[in-house]
Amino acid sequence: MEKLKIMKIQQDAEKMKLVTLAFDQAHNAVMMTDADFNNGGPFIVYCNSAFCQMTGYEREALIGRSPSMLQGHDTDVAVINSLRQALKNRTFWEGSTINYRKSGEAYVVNWSISPVFDENNLLTHFLSIQQDITSRIEADRGRNALLKALDQANDPVLITDSRETIVFVNTAFEKLTGYCKEEVLGRTPRFLNSGEQDAKFYRDLWHALKNRLPFQARFVNRRKDGSRYYVEQSIAPVLNEQGNCTHFISTSWQVDDIVEREKVLYAMATEDKLTGLLTRRAGDEALTRAYHRYLEEHCPLSVIICDIDHFKAVNDTYGHLIGDRIIEQVAKVLREQTRPDDLVIRWGGEEFLVVINAPILTATNLAERLRKAVFSLKDEDVGRLTLSLGVAELLPEESVEQLLGRADGALYRAKRNGRNMAVTAAGQNTSGTMLSSTL
């Protein structure tokens, strides 16, 4: 029995040695006090190296002293009273307040204190695990100050985590979009998409962000009420110290007024003032885009050149005001007889160009409809109006200039052969076919 008792004492001593060694090497500060509330107690009976490092005191200067030695002017009295009440009630307690190091420097400490009972359930000690959370508090204050500044910014700000989940929007964002914070936090920004940006736009966006580069462009987004708005938007990845992306921050500024002005300027530059049709310059650009689409998609492309017959005589006889009225009437017919996707261009004074994605037969039939529709007009001063038209479909390996040259040649033949007719260009399947009507 005596031997077993000695072995148990040795085992307990080894356990205590192991526990002491573990506490002393712990990252967090550990302190143990007795449970004596007399004469200003409890008093410190143990503290580890982390506790000494945190407070700036040597262990010898702490043992036998009350932890109140660490308190000072800014220590929260209410927190201390709550702590002491929990100790007297022998219950677990957790809280934080300001303590002071040996140097007099203040720090914010977070405690968790547990009562320790012996095998007879008698209270013998209190074990306190402590953390210096000063840097965390300062970081939180800095973060809160930054978020407050962002919230007060005049321009909308949106922040997502690396998975695109929204974690912050400011007041300006709420005002612009009509969404409140509670409606958007936890969602992805996709609900703002208006559908006006194509897939390539978003591929370019993510290509930049995945390569840790900012992306800036004009976005057309949708408000909560469904209306659209324009913003110049900049999206940038936020990297941590290891270079990993943790967040994305988006800043934007509304450009609705700029867009409206641009639309007006664009209309002035692209719309013919008299007819509302595309100008020659805008028509050239549109025809070039149609040509490149033909090269990429191999869809048929045809043109119709239209010229008002005897227009010089109209101007000479009736004057330019009547001449302008005739041009307006013909332009109106061309718009009404073509599809929304067809291009109708005022190509010259009394000359028009129609561009359609269709083969020669469709284009020829359209040209004849245009001719008949104009022929049905009867101006109160000039009388009956007629058109001459040249039709051509783009051939393989042919340039835009060659296409227009063949259509112009067909128009010349229509004029030469009596006017008021549509002629198909040479080199087409219906080469030389002349759809004509005499007055």
Point out the residues that are catalytic: 350
Which residues, listed in sequence order, are joined to residue 423 by a DSSP beta bridge?
Answer: 390, 434
CA–CA separation, 217 vs 207, rounded Å?
14
Whether 236 contacts 206, CB under 8 Å: no
Q: Has this prediction a pTM greater than 0.85?
A: no
Indicate the burial class of 323 (C-beta count within 10 angstroms; 0-12, 13-18, 19 or more). Answer: buried
CA angle at residue 110 from 107 to 111, to 5 degrees? 125
- For 347-398, where are the E strands, in sequence order? 351-356, 378-379, 383-384, 387-393
CA–CA separation, 144 vs 158, rounded Å?
16
91 and 163 belong to one structural domain: no
**Per-residue pLDDT, 251:** 92
232 and 315 belong to one structural domain: no
CA–CA separation, 255 vs 236, rounded Å?
20
Amino acid letter, 155: D
**Hey, what are 374's tokens?**
């104009």
249 and 291 belong to one structural domain: no
Instruction: Give a yes or no: residue 140 inside a domain.
Output: no
339 and 382 belong to one structural domain: yes
Instruction: Give a yes or no: residue 167 inside a domain.
Output: yes
121 and 12 belong to one structural domain: yes
- CATH number of residue 407's parent domain: 3.30.70.270
Whether 300 contacts 357, CB under 8 Å: yes
DSSP state of 271: B
CA–CA separation, 179 vs 170, rounded Å?
11
What domain range includes position 206?
Answer: 152-255
Instruction: Give a yes or no: residue 266 inside a domain.
Output: no
How many CB atoms within 10 Å of residue 10? 10
Report the length, in residues, of the chain: 439
Instruction: Give a yes or no: residue 424 inside a domain.
Output: yes
Instruction: Give a yes or no: residue 70 inside a domain.
Output: yes
In tens digits, the chain (439 residues) has pLDDT values of 555 545 544 554 555 565 666 677 778 899 999 999 988 889 999 999 999 999 999 999 999 999 999 999 999 999 999 999 999 999 999 999 999 999 999 999 999 999 999 889 999 999 999 999 888 887 777 777 777 878 888 899 999 999 999 999 999 999 999 999 999 999 999 999 999 889 899 999 999 999 999 999 999 999 999 999 999 999 999 998 888 999 999 999 988 888 788 777 766 667 888 999 999 999 999 999 999 999 998 899 999 999 999 999 988 899 999 999 999 999 999 999 999 999 999 999 999 999 999 999 999 999 999 999 999 988 888 889 999 999 999 999 899 999 999 999 999 999 999 999 999 997 676 544 444 443 3
CA-nearest of 227, 230, 251 to 179 is 227
354 and 243 belong to one structural domain: no
Instruction: Give a yes or no: residue 263 inside a domain.
Output: no
How many CB atoms within 10 Å of residue 173? 25
Instruction: Give a yes or no: residue 265 inside a domain.
Output: no
Count the domains in the chain: 3
350 and 402 belong to one structural domain: yes
58 and 193 belong to one structural domain: no
- Phi and psi torsions of 150, nearest 5°: -65, -35
238 and 276 belong to one structural domain: no
239 and 276 belong to one structural domain: no
108 and 169 belong to one structural domain: no
Element (H or E) spanning 304, and its range?
strand 302-308
Alpha carbon distances (Å) from 263 to 183, 228, 274 = 33, 15, 18
**Per-residue pLDDT, 267:** 66
186 and 304 belong to one structural domain: no
**Per-residue pLDDT, 427:** 66
- CATH number of residue 203's parent domain: 3.30.450.20
Peptide bond into 156 cis (omega under 30): no
Q: Checking phi first, is residue 226 left (phi over 0); if not, alpha (psi -120 to 50) or beta?
A: left
CA-based end-to-end distance of the chain: 137
CA–CA separation, 115 vs 40, rounded Å?
18
Instruction: Give a yes or no: residue 372 inside a domain.
Output: yes
Q: What is the pLDDT of residues 295-322, one digit of tens each?
A: 998 899 999 999 999 999 988 899 999 9
CA-nearest of 131, 94, 130, 92 to 114 is 92
**Hey, what are 272's tokens?**
């013919």
**Helix, strand, coil fractions of the chain, as percent rounded to 5:** 45, 25, 30
**Hey, what are 124's tokens?**
């013998």
Whether 170 contacts 156, CB under 8 Å: yes
